[in-house]
Structures are given as C-alpha cells and as structure tokens.
Amino acid sequence: MRKDSNVSLVYSTDVGRIAPEVETKQIPDGDGVVRIHKDSKGRKGKGVSVIKGLALDEKALKALAQKLKKQCGCGGTVKEFNIEVQTDNREQLKTLLEKLNYKVKLAGG
C-alpha cells in the first residue's frame, strides 16, 4: 500500500478499544450415566437417537459423534452438548458406548 502525504487516517475499524466477547459454553455436569433417547419431534417423522449426559467438551463430542456415525453407517450432528445420530438402532449405540467405558441407559420410548 502506498502512503500518500496528503491523506491521513481518520477512523479505522481494524483496531478498536472494545475487546471481542469470548463466548465460553459451560459443559453440563451429568450424573455419570449416558442416556440414549429416541426422538422424532420436528423431523417429519424421521427417528433419531439423542445421546445425552456426556460430560465432554465440544471437540471431544464431535470426535465421538464422528466415531459413532462411522460405526453405525449413518449421519448425525452435535447440538447443545448432545449427540444426534440418525438411526433407531439404540442397542448398537449402547454397545458401542459401553465398549468405550460409559455407563449407558436406554431412556424414553
């Protein structure tokens, strides 16, 4: 960038006094039991399994979700410290999580 002697900087948005707000999400404390719920609300009747109660940070949750999706051969996502896996096979999810030394309960219908 060329510097012109006739032009002076009046205002810049590059640097300011306002520090950016850092949003830190608090990891919810669980009771040590991972619960697998069946849910189809708001999904046009498609059933998903929602895994709740994992006391992990976002990075670890995403890694675990990736592993579970690969083992089940289906899709899914991580929302609000819960893992949603697009399968109705909760027994398979239960055995996979028990292999990873989690205490698992099937909850809901």
- Length of the chain counted residue by residue: 109
What residues pair up with 82 in beta bridges, in sequence order? 79
pLDDT of residue 17: 60
Measuring CA to CA, which residue among 103, 64, 57 is closest to residue 84?
64
Mean pLDDT across the chain:
80
Residue 85: which residues within 8 A CB-CB, separation 6 or more?
48, 49, 51, 65, 68, 69, 72, 74, 75, 76, 93
Statement: the pTM of the whole predicted model exceeds 0.95: no
With a pLDDT cut of 90, the percent of the chain lying above it is 6
Confidence of residue 39 (pLDDT cuts 50, 70, 90): confident
Confidence of residue 9 (pLDDT cuts 50, 70, 90): low
Average pLDDT of the segment spanning 80-108: 87
